[in-house]
Chains A and B, each alone.
Chain A
């Protein structure tokens, strides 16, 4: 199948702190790749680098063979990478439907002035009256299971469901690669099962996924492969079972560090 995303010796320094250190990995087409590691291991920083929130200090990122190392976040999204956030970043004063509608605009082709033009010379008077667009958005809300909150202000939705709204919004940009930053944090066990199903459903439709997760039940259940970060470095990679029993990984998690023992 070949790799859809490759990072080459990716490094990010924040002042004296090296958050991500020399990380190289590939994500295969159609794969769910799990990214784990103790708190502060640099997982979110790695996703921020890939999604273009900030540029790396060193190294390169290739997406479908194209160098996206220096591209801005919005460009990277139009190329086909969407993401969710560890702490949700939904549009709280828009309705759930509008959150998804905002993401459906073909922004690779349409800039602000062409949208201004559209607002005067479009069939539908308002976006929420555009039946075709609303049908697509409704389909996505249905897909993630939050249809009943369609016209609710996103800021008033239960937390667990805003995480799903964020996924629906990300899917609305029709990504080839989806970056999920702790989609299960703050969910109860019942909600967890639903979340696992949802992620597998998305993957089944052909979307490759890079997922950060602390909940072992989730990450072991759905990842095809795992990468382990520790202090910004990649310390293990491979099949979930193998990685899980890797002594280096166990040490990282349980703190069998020689410094700590002294």
Chain B
């Protein structure tokens, strides 16, 4: 019971701390980075569901992100649909494409699946580039509407500033975290991990890998699309660049460095690397060398060589050592 109480207190403390951040930090640029870190957290959590828990290497994840962003933006701009509904609509359309990408995954695995998913994202990126009537091509859609104000009685919550979006993104991250934790802990999650560890073994206990792969691709894509919608209404600019491969690699690097196949890993990786990336951008202006990708690459190599389990593994091990040392 005391362990449970401690858990509840920890969560409460974390929530209060999260609530207070915008009241302590006034800097808009800093809050911008925090919001982006939140959006990337949702992306990494969803990618990790496929790569970390199901063993499906999807290198086309940015496509779902882009689809969500375009869907929500286009619906808001052309039909006047509330962006709040657009977020979920973006998720649903992305989920549909996730289901589509799930089908090749039934027959392909490993590098073959990876190449196919790259191709999938690249095709959709070209569609976004060339379907000028709908997407305005490489110019992208600018002036995507902001999230509409929420009125509760006399109190109206506007969404103008980074700090306003901060609360939306924190809620979205918590929603995603809740869903993914639930999924992973359940019979569904155990099934996915069983397939990841040994597909023939999984079949021998009645698991039909095909149907689970379709389901998990769909769910993963939903959250990526949802993150895309958030980005669209926050950045107010949606361009084909969102679907580009380098975004997926950012997500991959974040997840690997944080800890593949864990819940805390993607969160840790997304937050750390989003901040690191901004710091490096600042350095680039000083030293005039594009060092961001170099650093990312080096970090990825070092992670794979020396800390397979990522930051989460390092923290866990040193915690265990500290406890054992006493």
Contact = CB atoms under 8 A, between A and B. Distances in A.
Contacts of B191: 102, 105, 112, 115
A85 interface: yes
A90 B193 CA distance: 11
A85 B205 contact: no
B126 interface: no
A83 B207 contact: no
Contacts of B179: 120
A71 to B, nearest CB: 11
Interface string A15-43: 00000000000000000000000000000
B95 to A, nearest CB: 12
A110 B191 CA distance: 12
Contact of B205 (A52, A110, A113, A169): A169
Contact of A120 (B182, B204, B207, B261): B182
Given A101-B190, A118-B186, A119-B186, A107 B207 contact: yes
A127 interface: yes
Contacts of A2: none
Contacts of B202: 91, 102
A167 to B, nearest CB: 12
B215 A53 contact: no
A85 B204 CA distance: 9
Contacts of A116: 183, 188, 215, 219
Contact of A89 (B190, B196, B200, B216): B200
A108 B206 CA distance: 8
Given A73-B203, A92-B198, A93-B196, A98 B215 contact: no
B188 A91 contact: no
A91 B185 contact: no
B205 A93 contact: no
B120 interface: no
B189, B190, B215 pick with most chain A CB within 10 angstroms = B190
A217 interface: no
Interface of A: 51-53, 72-75, 77-78, 82-83, 85, 89-94, 98-99, 101-103, 105, 107-108, 110-113, 115-116, 118-120, 122, 125-128, 169-170, 172-173
26 contacts: A73-B200, A74-B209, A77-B204, A77-B206, A82-B204, A85-B200, A89-B204, A91-B193, A91-B198, A92-B198, A93-B197, A94-B194, A102-B191, A105-B187, A107-B205, A108-B206, A112-B191, A113-B215, A115-B186, A115-B187, A116-B219, A119-B182, A120-B179, A120-B182, A128-B185, A169-B205
Interface of B: 179, 182-183, 185-191, 193-194, 196-198, 200-209, 211-212, 214-216, 219, 261
Given A74-B207, A105-B206, 14 more contacts: A89-B198, A90-B198, A102-B202, A103-B205, A105-B191, A107-B205, A110-B187, A116-B188, A116-B215, A120-B182, A126-B186, A170-B204, A170-B205, A172-B205
